[in-house]
Structure 1
């Protein structure tokens, strides 16, 4: 009898796979569903098209077998669907499989401790210590109206909404980047225009200064030339007097005259020595000091472009999934398994007053632990290992504390 049951179970499994494969292949080829044979009839070597598909038995049923199927107490509550929807079952069959992947047995139990559907062999191998194993049928009862399913549907809706918002935000950011590009292009061109105006102004100013300094130098040189011209004429006169004295003066007259002329020559020579060392006789050159062209060319750009990043403001909404709808008896003893375990020890300098008046306590996002010490009007800060870091004086008696952001807290009095 056992051998016959195994062979029958094997045959029904192959029949299910065969029928689903025919449905999927037919659906992919033509877009429509062809016939699905009735499983019970096919088991008796009779080929009859199926009208409905039983999701629990996972096989097709003709109208006669469907009526009998509904009349039997064990299968009366099985859910059936029109055979035209079998391709939907094939597409999501991997989600609805009631067969254990490890043991190829029916998943008919549920372990709340591991939040997993299990078969009988799973329990003997991995769940011997689990005390609250319940029937999978009891867990799944009214699952469509359970809070976990409502949360799942809401989370799917939230996921679509979040993706839509994120897509809209990305598209808005892309358009904003294009607008920023146009604005920055305009800004660069405006900067170039202003630079051109500035360079033109500086060029004109420098050329004017060059012309002015050149005029000053020319005036100084012309004044020097005028004085030199006057002295040159005086020297010509002396030279002319000497020539005339040679022709017309006696020796005595010539002797007396050259003594006076020598005084005049000495005077002019002294003037020449004096003026030669004066500032207005210095060599004048124009020294144009500008930034070397190499320095200007080494400036490879007029500025730089940096990408600023900020966190997107799209809220990601997700409801935490509650446990499956497990009977209250299976959940009632879970609180008994909670055990407190000491993680750190903080050796406070405890006094009676400190014990009675130690108010707020908080664990910061960086792991630091903060106490509000009322009597001493201080905030005591410890690291996550329990080591004291510092005390912060506050103006009043602190009552409670909360973290605003990393490194910033608010204190109530």
Structure 2
């Protein structure tokens, strides 16, 4: 018989059978593991353990066990041998918690889709806020499951993408480098037709070509390294998952699958980011005036670019039906404002930070979407119209009266003016993408594509194209211009060519791109917001019965659409409306 107060050896198993001549009583199994031996007061059906009076009370209160089925002393099993051991042993848990490194991961939160340790559960994922499962209770379903198959398939898909991306970039890099070799030959041929004063210019052109070749090779190396790393990592994880599945180690397989899901998201982003490496083909264009204007010229010519990057598939012309719900409104009027707000432009820096342009109050405002309040306001000395993000901490704002673009920094939740960029007209819409600014103008109506230093790369104008283009939005493939007098949405490429047009609206104004390539447009006269296919082939009203919607912005992370009104009434124009679209 065990001596009262003496610790029972830790090798004691709840499945052990005790002889009736040794000890006919049933004792608390949790206490037996590391404490005094106490008589059983009850029994937990879920944990399959006998409990003393203290453990019985605590069991009913604890977050992880409050809903377990408990039997009192009269109803509980009267022998330990009748209790089966839980099929999962503690040794199956070997992964440390990322947050609490001394703890082992044993739980899974259904709400947050994350693995947890007991500390995580106690502090952050309580029973009142989350649905938490003990992994052995749910892991059995992952063996040969659809989730298991889907994750392996997703890994294979990324591996295949890496292979194709490496092949494409390698092929394009060779073609680009060959074209640059031809460029150098053309430079030399042209060079023989002029005198020795062009030696320095020739060297400059050669250096420029070699710099591009070096950058091409550097980018290729980056792509190869990234894809190789991703492929190796996925292969290792895939092999582990297959092994765990074959050996039916459910707990480890469950955790590996959950970790693999996050790995897939990270690697999908890494592979997607490789699209930024746009390899170009070059040819040399002679400077025809150089023979007579040599003293005034500073270069032999320019490298004409032609992208070798494979074009992305055109956006789907089908616009899915959306469920909409009004999420409320945000007041954006402040004590500094002298009149009704006119929100003519806006951009999201992140789901919690919205930048808006209040044209009538000459202000740039920072809006916290979580607290639904204006947290900072920068006053300008002229009339701003539209805003775009150049980086996560820098904005560009179009200024109408001064023919300028004002750069503004965003730091420590404060807005601060930086340098300005002079443009050659009354600029309205502005949008930045991959080192280029697309800016719309009136009087005369035109669209210009500029680099960040203000050099004009392309100008598009003509009465048959634009009349009053006030709003612009861009992605890597296209520029979309909203013209309220033409009543059109015009789609252009970065060479300035019109590649699509959508008409039939009464007065299109603010415009924004969704995450799947469709375009949301405010129609101020019809009081609707319309969603247009990325190729401008078709459109559908998604919000109606509005109050003169004017500027608009889409948040992909939260599927929320923010828009302003232009009614000249306080109760509408001083607020941003928020709708959720799903």
Q: Shared topology, TM-score over 0.5?
A: no
Where relative contact order (Cα < 8 A, 6+ residues apart) is larger, the structure is 1
- Interval of TM-score (by shorter of Structure 1 and Structure 2): 0.3 to 0.5
TM-score, L = length of structure 1: 0.33
Greater share of strand residues, 1 or 2?
2
Q: Whose Rg is larger? A: 1
